[in-house]
A and B are shown apart, each in its own frame.
Chain A
Amino acid sequence: MARIELNHLAHQYAPGGDYALQPMQHVWEDGGAYALLGPSGCGKTTLLNIISGLLQPSEGRVMFGERDVTTLPPEQRNIGQVFQFPVIYDTMSVFDNLAFPLRNRKLGEDYVERRVTHIAGMLGLEDVLKRRANNLTADAKQKISLGRGLVREDVAAVLFDEPLTVIDPHLKWQLRRKLREVHEQLNLTLVYVTHDQTEALTFADKVVVMLAGQVLQVGTPQALFERPEHTFVGYFIGSPGMNFLDCQVDGSHAVVDGERIPVDPAMAEAARTAGGLLQLGIRPGLIRPAGADEPGLTVKVDKVEDLGDYELVTGHLGQHQIHVRLEQSEKIGSDGLRVVFPTENALLYADDKLVG
């Protein structure tokens, strides 16, 4: 177990070329569950490979606790890794698969037996220990991959590279639940790479959102959802993403195509100081319908989608497209939908960065 420190870390694949990873400085706490979230090519896999030791960074150091592991190969780093597609040793039984990392390190058979049984019990694999790993389902195989990481007591961190890609939705829930349980029980540092916001948010204590080799925000799922520090974070997290409307600031109001929307005065002040392109951001689910006598904004409705548990309204506020998530039994009037942007949920962005 260890905390992971990335010290002035940066990476270029070719000297003088573009940075695949922009210089960064982070400390990931011991026992934390971290998710690296971003679209393809954002550098999340590069960062994971640097942590696992498959890749050496061109600049900076990687520390596991007090130990500098920058130049160490994967086998000397005490990590486990679960890949996108199940990696198992086809010809071995499940037991032998789980025992493999221990036997490679020449540990006694008694110990191996005890340890494998313990881990198999934790992952719910005890019934298939004798079976050949090759004939199992994808989710069982991923559990085996995970088990090979967990079976070593000295494991410092377990890394996951989009491990749920090949798993059916209802099994994803079970596997994620298993992951959380393992995390609670073993208190390991976990790092999880994904492009899927749901996976990242449900898995992690802290999510690291990346774009183009840069870390845009590190925060709790709640923080990322409620106070995205960058418009990309707002867009990328949430389905559909946050609404962003170009605006001006007038006093403590944001003005969008002539509509005056009250915002936090301190934030309005900060936005005026920051200057640049100003945008008002609000989550589709945090917009609420206006009460009967309440002054509200009128959204022209273009489309209403019935998504089973809620309705998704696509409409226009002035010239700007806007999504509103409606709970059941909220009716849309003939002239459109009257809504309120709660002040605490309406955020201002200057040149894509949250102000205040």
Chain B
Amino acid sequence: MSLVLEGVSRTVGGEVYLDDINLTFERGEFNVLLGLTEAGKTTMMRIMAGLEPPNTGRVVEDGQDVTRVPVRKRSVGMVYQQFINYPSLSVYDNIASPLKLAGLDKGQIDRLVRTEAERLGIDHLIDRLPAELSGGQQQRCAMARALVRDARLVLLDEPLVNLDYKLREGLRSELRTLFADRDTVVVYATTEPEEALVLGGKTTVLHEGRVIQHGVTAECYRHPANTTVTQVFADPPMNLMPVVVGDGEVSVGGLLRAPLPGHMKDLAPGHYTLGVRPHHLYVAGADNLVTLHGTVEVAEIAGSVTYVHLEVNGRDWVVEERGVHPVHPGERFDIHMDLNRAYAFDSADQLVAAPDSQRG
């Protein structure tokens, strides 16, 4: 039971929106579609829904080719970034609308609408008009409408992006429970790495119309397939630096020379890109750490952590350090790096060594 995209491509006016997408989405799984604005997320969802046909390739639902089956004949629920409800209908009638179209009888509709409204915590607002609701409540209403008829495919296109931070946090953690017991393919598009991690399930990283990684969310995070993933699927992005590996050492010009850490021992001599997460760089030195010099550009203090932005060997780096560390722009700054936590990417930017530790 699944939705499969086979070699799906979409070009509009010479511009490539999607390029040879091959993916399988299983029922009962939470699928996150992660990518920057214009990475192709919305186009992919539109093709999955049948709102737009691909130029080549097939969309297969449970073994059946549905590529050219229009959206009305499929079983799809969709939630958008904007809060889309029928403005003249009450919350109740909004949620009931897809059921009425499906021709269910009154009693059944009533039962389903009330159950769904309750699950989304808007059962007390059922007689109000959408305009009388807050943004969060409006989006809950739109979600209830998308979910109420147990569609085989539910697509959520950045549904939380227009909500306040705290509302987003609340609804996000509810979402997983909301879909946990449903026999449906759920796809959730977002630009935010943190959202993907909280939602869990599987993640597909899209970039410029291509799938650059697909797998279990936490796995993708810990083993970013290439340097692009390290920038799209990490907030702040991973720090990168070109290095040379040879003679059991890793070196960067005169800046750094250190023995290769265990997980990089098997790398052939040559040029690589080293990746280090901001929170694996430390202000304080220790025996197992190697030291790098940088120039402070700015520091951001965010309550429990300080982000120090530095220029290291011509690159913009970020250090995430617990606690508050006042630093001054222009200051020369030593940072300490745990090579055992570093990633290595080859000259084609593909991951060749990841830290052994359980967490990236």
Direct interface between A and B, CB < 8 A: yes
Are A39 and B358 in touch, CB under 8 angstroms?
A: no
Q: Does A105 contact B (CB under 8 A)?
A: no
Contact of B277 among A197, A220, A283, A309 (CB under 8 A): A309
Contact of A225 among B36, B192, B304, B359 (CB under 8 A): B304
**Complex interface residues of chain B between 129 and 146 (CB less than 8 A to chain A):** 134-135
Interface size range on B against A: 35 or more
Question: Within the assembled complex, what's the spacing in Å between the Cα atoms of A127 and B328?
Answer: 29
Are A222 and B218 in touch, CB under 8 angstroms?
A: no
Are B301 and A328 in touch, CB under 8 angstroms?
A: no
Which residues from A are CB-within-8-Å of B236?
173
Q: Does A195 contact B (CB under 8 A)?
A: yes
Which residues from A are CB-within-8-Å of B164?
39-40, 195
Which residues from A are CB-within-8-Å of B149?
none
Q: What is the distance, in angstroms, from B305's C-beta to the closest C-beta of chain A?
A: 9
Which residues from B are CB-within-8-Å of A310?
359
B12-48: CB near A (< 8 Å → 1, else 0) gives 0000000000000000000000001100000000000
A173 with B318: in contact, given A307-B197, A328-B358 (CB under 8 Å)? yes
Nearest A residue to B296 via CB reads A184
Are A328 and B235 in touch, CB under 8 angstroms?
A: no
A308 with B165: in contact, given A170-B36, A181-B297 (CB under 8 Å)? no
**Complex interface residues of chain B between 292 and 315 (CB less than 8 A to chain A):** 297-304, 307, 309
**Complex interface residues of chain A between 216 and 240 (CB less than 8 A to chain B):** 220-222, 224-226, 235-240
A308 with B37: in contact, given A180-B298, A201-B302, A201-B303 (CB under 8 Å)? no
Q: Does A305 contact B (CB under 8 A)?
A: yes
Which residues from B are CB-within-8-Å of A115?
none
Question: Within the assembled complex, what's the spacing in Å between the Cα atoms of A197 and B302?
Answer: 9
**Complex interface residues of chain B between 190 and 245 (CB less than 8 A to chain A):** 191-194, 197-198, 200, 218, 221-222, 231-232, 235-237
Question: Within the assembled complex, what's the spacing in Å between the Cα atoms of A138 and B309?
Answer: 23
Q: Does A177 contact B (CB under 8 A)?
A: yes
A-B contact pairs, 18 of them (CB 8 A): A39-B164, A40-B135, A40-B164, A168-B37, A169-B192, A173-B235, A180-B298, A181-B297, A195-B166, A201-B303, A202-B301, A202-B302, A222-B301, A225-B304, A238-B303, A240-B169, A283-B304, A310-B359
